[in-house]
Amino acid sequence: MSTQTELPPLPPRPTLDEIDPAKNGLRRSALLRELSLYLEGFESRILCEKNDIEKIAAADRAAYIGLIDVAARSLKSMRHIVETNLFEIALKKGGLK
């Protein structure tokens, strides 16, 4: 099995005092982009783990693949939601750039 690497911490969430209502859309966009990149990093790590499955005993392989596939689908779904929110924000601001 591969060695486990440490994941970077999630970006800090702003408090209500730090959010300027006029800039809330811009701040939200930036946070969503950051979250999307973070989720993409998780997906990459999961794919690397999936490549290491060949080293696992055949009896355990199917269960491990199943768990990794579920995790990958979940992350992909979360990233899709984040990117959809970014798209909606861009449309509300007057289109994509």
Q: What distance in Å separates the CA atoms of residue 41 and residue 52, rounded to the nearest whole number?
A: 17
| Domain ranges for the chain | 23-92
The pLDDT tens digits of the residues spanning 41-85 come to 888 888 787 777 767 766 677 788 888 889 889 988 988 888 888
Model-level pTM greater than 0.85?
no
Which residue pairs from 67-75 have beta carbons closer than 8 angstroms and sit at least 24 positions apart in sequence?
71/46, 72/43, 72/46, 72/47, 75/39, 75/42, 75/43, 75/46
Predicted local distance difference test score (pLDDT) of residue 45: 83
The pLDDT tens digits of the residues spanning 2-25 come to 556 676 776 676 665 555 555 555
